[in-house]
Structure 1
Amino acid sequence: MDDVRDTGGKHAPDGNDPGGEPGRRDRGRRAGRGVGRPGRGRALVWAGVLLVAGVSAVGALGLGGGDADTGGADQGRSSQVVRVSRGTLTDQTEIDGQLGHGPQVPFQIRAEGTVTWLPESDATLRRGDAVLRVNDRPVVLLYGSLPMYRDLTLSGPADPADGSDGRPDDGADDGKGSEDGEGSDSGAEGSDGTGSEAAADTAGAGSQREAAVSGMDVRQFETNLSALGYSGFTVDDEYTALTADAVRRWQEDLGLPETGEVGIGDVVYAPGPVRIATTGVRVGADASGEPVSYTSTSRMVTVEAPAADTDWARRGTEVTVELPGGHTVQGEVARVGKEASAPEGPGGAEGGGEGGAAQTATVSVLITFADQQSLGRLESGPVTVRYVVGERKDVLTVPVSALVALAEGGHGLELVEGDSEGPGRFLPVRTGLFANGQVEVSGPGVREGMKVRIPK
């Protein structure tokens, strides 16, 4: 035994000894075959693992693969499996907006005098209500699109074609008739009826010269008068004596002198009921100008959209509005501004930099709601508006994180076949719309329900 330890396997005292050189040499060759092959096998296995891990890492780095469960048999591969699903893929974009009552519009007050009463802010005014009082006379709200641009009376200005002032001739001249007696002659001639006929003709000519007030503004006013409950006249384009009678009854109810005439400053028009937004003057100030402004009574959202990105903002486009608190309601684009404006400050109208104002210019977009009750009690506040920029119906989709970048280019999916936890084959796919963490996929062999692995 000592000889064996001393030789270290190089020498043996007896070639027939089982521990001799021939036996050791043979075991060494067998040992060499047994050790060498397992070493090469382990190297190949680790190379395969690194290759799979590298492909998965490329897919994750290039496409934002999310966190995955690491409970798989192979470290570096994910056990998270998803199915290819079919449905509608919608891509939405968000933009900030402001809930309120829309833009403010000033009343054009034509009454002259001192403001003696003003309405409260947020008050709702309807047809027949006073917008304010001037010299203690109400300026009444009526509905319509035409402004009050003239007085409404039984007769208008004279016809300038005949050079008359519109007043009937009273028979007076320059005074010469009384001096030379022509006046008495006229009286004598009148005894046979000729003078009476001449006077009648003169009066008739004067009446014809008085033009009746008529037009669309008359029809608009008479429509309102009728809607307020006053009758006895025909709603048309002509201001008649019957219209004046109804106006007198209306003036009596308002506590005004019963003149039968409507002055240019007695009424103002708006499209419908209004909400008082602001009052620009105090009681005691002069009434001229724009002392009161109003808004719509309905709530709406105003969006200042980038002027270069308003393709979505078309009248009738449906949008989703998220209110403070997370509640969402459906709205519709009602109006898109035609003028772009740049915000003040750096990069805006006051900012420096070439092209800064043009790049930051915005256009106002107004969004209305058919169901005002869906807004709850909220009157104003910041909101988020979402609109659709792309939509694909009845398409196959997978999570974006399931995509793998293929070595030959493009993208693929790692199929999970059966219950196998080992590496699957990669199926090339074509990608379509990306939205909400999902992607549209298509290609030969891609079908609904197939299982694919999400790389780690």
Structure 2
Amino acid sequence: MRWALVVGGVVVLGVGVGGVVLRLGGDEAEARPGVRLGTAVVTRGDLVDTEKVDGRLTYDGARDVWTGASGIVTWAPREGATVRRGGTLVKVSGKPVTLMYGGSPMYRVLRVGESGADVRQLEGNLAALGYGDLTVDTRFTEATEAAVKEWRDDRGLEETGVVDPAQIVFLGGAVRVRKVRTPEGKQAVQGQPVLEVAGTRRVVHVDLDADKQDLAREGAKVSVELPGGKVVPGTVSEVGDVAESSGSGQDQKTTVGVDIAVKGRTGRLDEAPVTVELESERRRGVLSVPVEALLATREGGFAVEVADGTGRLVPVRIGAFGGGRVEVTGVAEGVKVGVPER
């Protein structure tokens, strides 16, 4: 939409340049009669343009948890609870399923004579929990068996030196319970998840339109506006490699998942909506003025009014917009220019 209003001989012209309103000046010395002017300085620096997108505040590494135990679930954690090494993920038929840390799943029965990376994981956890005098290696020895017996006794399990997938789940670290998939009273079945969990590190997740993927680069700095208006800094930690489609027909959207690590206090709300400000363009070391310093001339170009008492207009060429400023050439660094007082 274009509009014009004559005020004191100056045409105020609404145009679509960076979302600003430009005043149309002329050749007269008093370019903006009747308009109270302040001043701004032509400065050199980086000019950053940004774009805001929707995201949600959540936790990293969401995944389902399975157990080798079968039976009725007799206890499940509340949603939002944190479970750490040695803690109970769920109880099946009154027996606890314990979280231990590790990158490989618990897939077999471990006893004296077994060896492998899963044995090392088990021994590392037993040692961290204070059981036995263990040498953490890949061999399940009698010392390992003694530590297992002590651990099982403390967990209220039959005091044997054997462990299997019904007693232990290996995960990468402490987890936060997002959803109980098999609540108390329901049947736990092998091959079906009992919990949905995530890590304990706060992240912002953005389903970014695929055509805007260039806005998100790993390591890039962003700002995140939390519910309530608080703004915290963030860093893009992960950008998905695979685009995902949702909806159909004209409503179909193709997006790329972006995770952002955030600093500062963010509260405990999960899935809370946030606004993420991403950098879309950066012009380095350019001269710029506030956008309201621009005057649209009758000849079709732009000018700035030098604030030296003469009202002199200096023609300028404009470039990128960002942060309420506009790149200009044709005027020297340090010059003071007129801007309307607010």
Query: Which range, TM-score by smaller chain?
Result: 0.7 to 0.9
Q: What is the letter of the counterpart of residue 146 of structure 1?
A: S
Indicate the residue corresponding to 2:203 in structure 1.
Answer: 300
Cα contact 2:40–2:290 (8 A) shared by 1: no
Q: 1: CA distance between counterparts of 2:294 and 2:32?
A: 20
Q: Does 1:404 align with 2:295?
A: yes
2:138 to 234, 237, 249: 237
Cα contact 2:218–2:239 (8 A) shared by 1: yes
Unaligned runs of 5+ in 2: 1-5
Q: 1: CA distance between counterparts of 2:287 and 2:73?
A: 69
Q: Give CA deviations for 1:268-306 in whole Å, capped at 9, x if unaligned.
A: 011111111111123232212101111222332111110
Change (3 A) 1:332 1:75: closer
Q: 1: CA distance between counterparts of 2:227 and 2:104?
A: 39
Indicate the residue corresponding to 2:41 in structure 1.
Answer: 84
The Cα of 1:62 is off from its aligned counterpart by: 6.3
Q: 2: CA distance between counterparts of 1:453 and 1:415?
A: 10
Indicate the residue corresponding to 1:257 in structure 2.
Answer: 158
Cα contact 2:71–2:92 (8 A) shared by 1: yes
Question: TM-score of the superposition, structure 1-length normalised?
Answer: 0.64
Q: Give CA deviations for 1:375-419 in whole Å, capped at 9, x if unaligned.
A: 24655521111122233455432222332344555432243543x
Q: Does 1:362 align with 2:318?
A: no
Structure 1 residues 154-193: aligned runs within 5 Å = 154=112
**Number of equivalences:** 326
Q: Give CA deviations for 1:169-188 in whole Å, capped at 9, x if unaligned.
A: xxxxxxxxxxxxxxxxxxxx
2:325 to 407, 428, 438: 438
Indicate the residue corresponding to 2:3 in structure 1.
Answer: none
Q: What is the letter of the counterpart of residue 90 of structure 2?
A: L
Partner-residue secondary structure (3-state), 1:251: helix
Change (3 A) 1:137 1:104: same
Q: 1: CA distance between counterparts of 2:281 and 2:320?
A: 8
Q: Does 1:387 align with 2:278?
A: yes
Which stretch of the first structure deviates more once superposed, 318-327 or 395-404?
A: 395-404
CA RMSD of aligned residues (A): 3.0
Q: What is the letter of the counterpart of residue 119 of structure 1?
A: P
Q: 2: CA distance between counterparts of 1:221 and 1:411?
A: 72
Unaligned runs of 5+ in 1: 1-49, 155-211, 344-348
Cα contact 1:84–1:396 (8 A) shared by 2: no
Q: 2: CA distance between counterparts of 1:117 and 1:408?
A: 78
Indicate the residue corresponding to 2:103 in structure 1.
Answer: 145
Q: Does 1:317 align with 2:220?
A: yes
The Cα of 1:236 is off from its aligned counterpart by: 0.3
Q: Which one has a larger percent strand, Structure 1 or Structure 2?
A: 2
Q: 2: CA distance between counterparts of 1:308 and 1:152?
A: 50
Q: 2: CA distance between counterparts of 1:393 and 1:107?
A: 48
Partner-residue secondary structure (3-state), 2:212: coil
Structure 1 residues 80-119: aligned runs within 5 Å = 80-88=37-45, 89-102=47-60, 104-119=62-77
Q: Which one has a larger percent helix, Structure 1 or Structure 2?
A: 1
Partner-residue secondary structure (3-state), 1:342: strand
Question: TM-score of the superposition, structure 2-length normalised?
Answer: 0.84
For the pair shown, the structure with the greater C-alpha radius of gyration is 1
Cα contact 1:97–1:385 (8 A) shared by 2: yes
Change (3 A) 1:248 1:310: same
Change (3 A) 1:440 1:254: same
Q: What is the letter of the counterpart of residue 436 of structure 1?
A: G
Q: 2: CA distance between counterparts of 1:377 and 1:67?
A: 48
